[in-house]
Structure formats: C-alpha cells, structure tokens
Amino acid sequence: MGTLLKWEMKQTFASKSFWIIGGALVTLPALMLFAALSFASEFTGYDAFLEGLNNYNAFVIFLIGVFAGIHVTGAFEGRKIQSAVMAGNSRFNILLAKFISYSTAVAIYSVISMVITTALSFAMGGVTGLDGSFARMIIARAAVFTVVEIAYAATCFFASMFIRHQGGAIGLNTGLMLMSNVGAQILLNFDWAEKFVRLTPAGQSMFIIADMSNSNIAMALATSVVAIAAVIALSYVKFRREELK
C-alpha cells in the first residue's frame, strides 16, 4: 500500500490538472475578494475572511468536478488503474490510494486558498469584527471547513467511478455539485428542512461559514466522516465488481 500510495501521490502532483485547477482555485477567490474589498468599505477583516470562504466554495462547485473527472475517469481512460490491477495490487488499495491522493489535493487547494484570502482580508480590513478568539473563529473554522470541502468534493470522486468518458464525468460532476448546492439553498427557505440540510456536506459547506457553535462543529465533522466513509465503501463495491477492459 505504501508504494502504491507514493506512486499515486507522485502522479497526482506531477499532473498538469493538479497545478492548473489548483492555480484557479487559489487565484480566483483571492481576486474576487480583492475586488470586493477595493470597492466596499463596510467589510471588517472578519467579514472579508468569511467572504473569502464563500468565494472559494463557489469555485469548488465549478472546478473540483473537472479535477475529479481527470483524476479518476482519466486514470481509467489512460489504463493506469488497469495496469495497477495487473501488477497484483488489490482493488481496495488502488481505490484507497486514489481517494487519498484526490483528498490530499482538495485539502491543499483549500488550505492555500484560505491562507491567501485570510492574509488579504486582515491586511485590507484590519483584524476587526471578530466575535470570538482568533484561534476558534479563524484557525478552527478553516480546519473544519477543509474537512467539509473534502467530503463535499468526494461526491465527484464517487460519480467519476461510474463514467468511463472523461468529458461525461466532468459534466456529471459539475451538474451534481450545482444541483446539491442549489438544492440546499432552496431547502433552507423551509424551517423544517434546516436540520436535514445540516446533515449533508453541501449544507455544511455553507453552515460552517455562519455557525461555529460546538454542536454544529460536531455535526459538520460527523457528517463529513460519514460521507467520506460512504464514498469509499460504495466506490469499492462498484470497482470490485467491474470488469476492466
């Protein structure tokens, strides 16, 4: 497993898609935030930080599906996964290595983007507007937000296991991310639906920005862990039965 994971990580970080999509996910939210701060004087540093998280999540919806399609479906198209199976690696180890490398990329995108937008927020808006400690409201929120984004992006990993055409996978992934986000926003118009939306990574990608209560932190982390475990399990069920060509 160690050798397989090392190889998978090397392939991921050497790919053009990792750098191009990562560059977009890091640069675009920062540019949007800079523009907003340049034309709006009412932003406190804390408000700007939250706006940076919102901006990042918006671009994740449109771009992470592209990365998943290339990372997963592209590996099938390029027969890299088939070669790994033929080399005697277990399908579970192949799947797990692929998911870990994918999640690591998502985590790197999230952390770097938040470091840049946070620095920009407090440099332009000042260290103002905090309604709690910096450690809790900024650092802890960023950590939980990263876990939630990994769980949310896992939707695209799972969907990509079903499509063997890279363009089709990218289209499906983008559609799923958009529908889940729009669906969560629509449901939030109904009081009875809030507790259910909180139980989804799509919902928590919005809630964790607004709600850092202990109960919501616990719910966000639990929801993310369950979603990630479900994606790995269901992806393996699909992959285990698949006849590779």
Per-residue pLDDT, 226: 97
Per-residue pLDDT, 132: 82
What single DSSP character describes residue 127? Answer: S
Range of the domain at 154: 2-241
Round to whole Å and give the CA distance between 139 and 129. Answer: 15
Round to whole Å and give the CA distance between 37 and 94. Answer: 45
How many domains is the chain built from?
Answer: 1
One-letter amino acid identity for 115? V
Measured in degrees and rounded to the nearest 5, phi and psi for residue 43 equal -70, 125
Which of 173-200 are b and which e, b meaning 16 or more Cβ less than 10 Å from the residue's Cβ? bbebbeebbeebeebeeeeeeeeebbeb
Per-residue pLDDT, 245: 65
Low-confidence residues of the chain: pLDDT under 70: 245
Per-residue pLDDT, 130: 87
pTM of this structure: 0.94
